[in-house]
Amino acid sequence: MAGNKSYTIVEYFGGDDGYRCGYCKNEKGNFSHGMWTHTMTVQDYQDLIDRGWRRSGKYVYKPIMNKTCCPQYTIRCHALKFQPSKSHKKILKKMSKFLSKGELPKGPGDGLGADASRPPCRKAKDVRKERRLQKEQMRQGADGDNQPKPLEDFINESLPDSSSHCLEVRLVPVNFEDPQFTASYQQSVALYARYQMAIHGDDPSACSESEFRRFLCDSPLEAEFSPDGPEVGYGSFHQQYWLDGRIVAVGVIDILPTCVSSVYLYYHPDFASLSLGSYSALREIAFTRQLQKQSPKLSYYYLGFYIHSCPKMRYKGQYRPSDLVCPETFVWVPIERCLPQLENSRYARFNQDPDAGDARVLKDVGRVMVLYRRTVMPYAAYTRKRKGSNDETEVQQYASLVGQDCAERILLYRA
């Protein structure tokens, strides 16, 4: 994919100290390993996220799953097999109604439904059931093989030809030399600050331009192109949602060899009732399917981390079919098989194969390369030069975390 001169350089920080958890607010319950990435190939990052890592800007971290207060499991959706649920269809219809009639729906966007304290009207429920059966019969009569409508059709229906508003989605590479990116940069910065203050209650100092750049623009991934890859290439991108000539939402994504990985989403608070978080996820799944036509192995949509112990983060499990990665064997397991275990315990080994070894343990790290005083040398030579220190243990721990294949390519930076 990348040229022979492409490589990854990281500084490994370890993971001994606990710090504040953003989910349960435990002051010192969050434990993770961390690396600062000077540069990283898209294949190395693909390998890392398949072992439970995730990036925030140039910082790449991996929760210590059996120790941290809120275990975070990497989740992926099978984009090609995805079918929108009833709630997903409602979100797309809500967007269609807004674009065509210009009316914003009332109330909150994602997460709230009917008043649970009121019993359902039995008569209305029976009527809905009857209508549903009638529609199903009509559909079967009109279509002999009864194929479900694909996601793309629902999205296209949400974008009417004659409408009060015009919605356009633009893919822009995160590159300050790209004219589209630089032309929209200040508008993106202002939107990010507005979102963080209104939705997350951040102080203005916490959502400055420098913070925006560090978090959502600085990326270790260099743009890469491959003959069998997508036309837009691999790397980090902003997917901008333009409504009537202004940006109202931005989805930050990484395009990798086998997936589109969601990094973050921020949007204009005035449009929160449109459920833009869910709407953008549906658009990103459709985008993954589009890229797969150009690059057959690119067929998954990664939603980041699934955190079962945090109810507000369980929504990621609604994009089916989906898998969670086993924290011990790094095998993908259907989420339906994982949920019963997570109901009983925050931490669980999903792979039930007793013969599957612990993939976290590696015996041979002799081929790990280390950048020592800016000189590349084999790991064995590095340990001889640093004899008497505990660096060997640290590098062995690092190699077991990133995986043998990845460790043989990554250069561990020691200034």
Counting other chains too, the contacts that 49-52 makes at CB distance below 8 Å and 24 or more residues apart are 49/74, 49/256, 49/259, 49/261, 49/302, 50/74, 50/325, 50/330, 51/325, 51/330, 51/359, 51/401, 51/402, 51/403, 51/406, 52/325, 52/327, 52/330
pLDDT tens digits in sequence order for the chain, 415 residues long: 544 457 788 887 777 789 999 899 999 999 999 888 989 999 999 999 999 999 999 999 999 999 999 999 999 999 999 999 999 999 999 999 999 999 898 876 664 333 333 334 445 666 566 666 666 655 555 555 568 899 999 999 878 777 899 999 999 999 999 999 999 999 999 999 999 999 999 999 999 999 999 999 999 999 999 999 999 999 999 999 999 999 999 999 999 999 999 999 999 999 999 999 999 999 999 999 999 999 999 999 999 999 999 998 999 999 999 999 999 999 999 999 999 999 999 999 999 998 887 777 543 333 344 444 344 444 445 454 554 445 556 666 666 777 766 766 666 654 3
> Over the stretch 234-272, which tens digit does the pLDDT of each residue have?
999 999 999 999 999 999 999 999 999 999 999 999 999
Backbone φ, ψ for residue 164 (5° rounding): -80, -25
Give the sign of the dihedral formed by CA 365, CA 368, CA 372, CA 375.
Answer: positive
């081929």: which residue's tokens? 367
């459709």: which residue's tokens? 286
Q: For the residues of 343-388, what is the DSSP string, one character each?
A: HH-SS------TT---TT--S--TT-EEEETTEEEEHHHHHHHTTT
pTM for the structure as a whole? 0.84
* Residue pair 326/350 in contact by the 8 Å Cβ criterion: yes
- HEC string of 268-323 equals CHHHHHHCHHHHHHHHHHHHHHHHHHHCCCCCEEEEEEECCCCHHHHHHHHCCCEE
Rg (CA), the chain: 23
Distance (Å, whole) CA 203 – CA 193 = 9
Q: Residues 6 or more apart from 137 whose CB is under 8 A from it? A: none
Distance (Å, whole) CA 47 – CA 99 = 40
3-state secondary structure of 76: strand
What pLDDT is attached to residue 406?
Answer: 73
